[in-house]
């Protein structure tokens, strides 16, 4: 059992913000492991799940020479100015290794906390060996007191044969924070990668376009994003799946609401092997002002691919509001109920704890619509 040290240095108010991102700060009950990064300081890293190691990246690279093959591999060091910046700074972050066949019942939590005006860099590696199963909750938040700051995060995820990695990232940044995650994954034969992203709080800028390379036969990737952008938020978020092996499939689902902010929702599926399937679904609501720009791309490169996309941008239909009002709900209650339903992305097979985090994040944002 890892020590929970570090959280006591965070104010009660900020710990409540972390709770919104799915991070438990008092005990590890219901968690398989925990990692805490405050600015550039790793305060703890550890796991109590059998067959799962959670380590600081610098220590892990010393301990396992073979790990260098996974380091700056799926995300190239020179991809852009942000990856270069991370590479040029001391490596901080975690390495999670789930050994062959290891299955975590509870999610592993990782918390990236930004306090004070600084640029936080992080480099994480997740390796799920053959048949392993891990669930990650990545809670990213900034202190209420942080005025300006940035988070550059590199995540390299390796899903082995018949393994399964579920990653749920919940962002609770501030209005003056810029966030540039750079995430990519490789999924081997029969493996499944599920990525869920929730961003409900105002953030000055988020720009990310995580990519899954489906390298082994029958690999599956599913990206779900739930985004609400208030005034002053600029969220440029997408996901991309590259179907490189036969019988691979991908599904990219986005529900986005702008309440005065800008959302660019990208999605791309490239089918370069036969018997592959992919679907992109993006639905956006403009509640007031704001921009909702959906850019779905499908790119088939061989025969026997099935790729499709559907995107819609609209408003809440008046007849839906009146339908609920006719049953006695006020206009505000009816609107909130419809928005809640709109954002409800049920993901099959998601552990209850992770679904609850997503539901809680959505419920917490109900106010203000």
Partner 1 sequence: MLEISNLHVEVGGREVLHGVNLKINDGETHVLLGPNGSGKTTLLRTIMGFGSSQVTSGKILFNGVDVTEKPVHERAQLGMGIMFQRPPTISGLKLGKFLAATTKIGEERIPALAERMHMTKFLDRDVNAGFSGGEIKRSEILQLMVQEPSFVMLDEPESGVDVENMALLGGAAASLLEKDQHMINRTKSSLIITHTGYILDYIEADVGHVLIDGMMRCS
Edge-to-edge, what's the strand order for the sheet holding 33-38? 41-47, 33-38, 108-114, 133-142, 164-172, 192-199, 220-230, 249-259, 276-286, 305-314
Query: What is the nearest approach in angstroms of partner 1 to the Cβ of residue 280?
Result: 18
In the complex with partner 1, the residue whose CB is nearer, 17 or 222, is 222
Q: Which of 195, 270, 272 is nearest to 240 (CA)?
A: 270
Distance in angstroms (rounded) separating the CA atoms of residues 95 and 212: 19
In the complex with partner 1, the residue whose CB is nearer, 68 or 364, is 364
In the complex with partner 1, the residue whose CB is nearer, 125 or 198, is 198
The counts of H helices and E strands in the chain are 6, 20
In the complex with partner 1, the residue whose CB is nearer, 306 or 322, is 322
Distance in angstroms (rounded) separating the CA atoms of residues 90 and 173: 23
Query: What is the nearest approach in angstroms of partner 1 to the Cβ of residue 316?
Result: 10
Query: Are 107 and 135 a contacting pair, CB within 8 Å?
Result: yes
Contacts of 182 (CB under 8 A, 6+ apart): 75, 79, 80, 82, 83, 86, 152, 153, 154, 155, 208
Query: What is the nearest approach in angstroms of partner 1 to the Cβ of residue 336?
Result: 11
> What is the distance of C-alpha 242 from the center of its chain?
18
Distance in angstroms (rounded) separating the CA atoms of residues 158 and 193: 9
Query: What is the nearest approach in angstroms of partner 1 to the Cβ of residue 314?
Result: 12
Distance in angstroms (rounded) separating the CA atoms of residues 267 and 209: 8
Query: What is the nearest approach in angstroms of partner 1 to the Cβ of residue 283?
Result: 9
Query: What is the nearest approach in angstroms of partner 1 to the Cβ of residue 116?
Result: 39
In the complex with partner 1, the residue whose CB is nearer, 307 or 345, is 345
In the complex with partner 1, the residue whose CB is nearer, 119 or 334, is 334
> How far are the Cα atoms of 37, 92, 121, 180, 230 from residue 57, in angstroms, in the given order?
12, 6, 12, 20, 35
In the complex with partner 1, the residue whose CB is nearer, 62 or 322, is 322
Per the listing, tokens 């779905």 go with 296
Query: What is the nearest approach in angstroms of partner 1 to the Cβ of residue 318?
Result: 6
Residues in contact with partner 1 by the rule CB under 8 A: 317-320, 322-331, 333-334, 337-338, 340-344
Distance in angstroms (rounded) separating the CA atoms of residues 39 and 162: 35
DSSP 7: G
Query: What is the nearest approach in angstroms of partner 1 to the Cβ of residue 259?
Result: 18
In the complex with partner 1, the residue whose CB is nearer, 318 or 367, is 318
In the complex with partner 1, the residue whose CB is nearer, 29 or 319, is 319
In the complex with partner 1, the residue whose CB is nearer, 327 or 367, is 327
Helix (H) or strand (E) holding 98: strand 94-98
Query: What tokens were used for 350?
Result: 């998601």
Distance in angstroms (rounded) separating the CA atoms of residues 322 and 9: 49
Query: What is the nearest approach in angstroms of partner 1 to the Cβ of residue 23?
Result: 26
Query: What is the nearest approach in angstroms of partner 1 to the Cβ of residue 347?
Result: 13
């Amino acid at each position: 059992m890892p020590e929970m040290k570090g959280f006591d240095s965070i104010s009660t108010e900020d710990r409540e913000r972390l709770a919104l991102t799915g991070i438990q700060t008092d005990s590890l009950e219901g968690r398989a492991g925990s990692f805490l990064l405050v600015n550039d300081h790793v305060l703890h890293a550890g796991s109590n799940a059998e067959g799962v190691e959670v380590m600081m990246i610098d220590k892990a690279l010393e301990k396992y020479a073979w790990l260098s093959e996974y380091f700056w591999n799926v995300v190239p060091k020179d991809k852009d100015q942000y990856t270069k910046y991370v590479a040029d700074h001391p490596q901080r972050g975690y390495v999670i290794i789930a050994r062959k066949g290891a299955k975590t019942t509870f999610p592993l939590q990782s918390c990236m906390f930004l306090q004070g005006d600084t640029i936080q860099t992080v480099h994480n590696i997740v390796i799920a060996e053959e048949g392993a199963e891990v669930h990650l909750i990545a809670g990213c938040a900034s202190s209420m007191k942080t005025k300006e700051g940035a988070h550059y995060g590199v995540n390299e995820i390796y899903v082995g044969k018949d393994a399964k990695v579920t990653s749920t990232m919940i962002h609770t940044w501030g209005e003056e924070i810029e966030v540039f995650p750079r995430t990519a994954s490789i999924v081997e034969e029969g493996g499944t990668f599920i990525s869920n992203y929730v961003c409900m709080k105002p953030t000055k800028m988020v720009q990310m376009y995580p990519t899954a390379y489906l390298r082994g036969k029958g690999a599956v990737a599913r990206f779900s994003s739930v985004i609400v952008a208030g005034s002053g938020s600029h969220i440029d978020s997408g996901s991309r799946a590259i179907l490189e092996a036969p019988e691979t499939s991908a599904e990219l689902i986005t529900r986005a609401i702008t309440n005065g902010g800008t959302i660019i929702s990208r999605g791309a599926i490239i089918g370069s092997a036969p018997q592959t399937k992919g679907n992109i679904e993006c639905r956006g609501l403009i509640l007031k002002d704001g921009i909702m720009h959906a850019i779905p791309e499908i790119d088939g490169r061989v025969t026997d691919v099935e790729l499709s996309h559907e995107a819609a941008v609209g408003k809440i239909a008046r007849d839906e509001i009146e339908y609920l009002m006719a049953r006695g709900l006020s206009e505000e209650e009816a609107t909130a109920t419809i928005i809640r339903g709109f954002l409800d992305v049920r993901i099959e097979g998601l552990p209850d704890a992770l679904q609850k985090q997503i539901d809680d994040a959505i419920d917490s944002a109900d106010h203000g619509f």
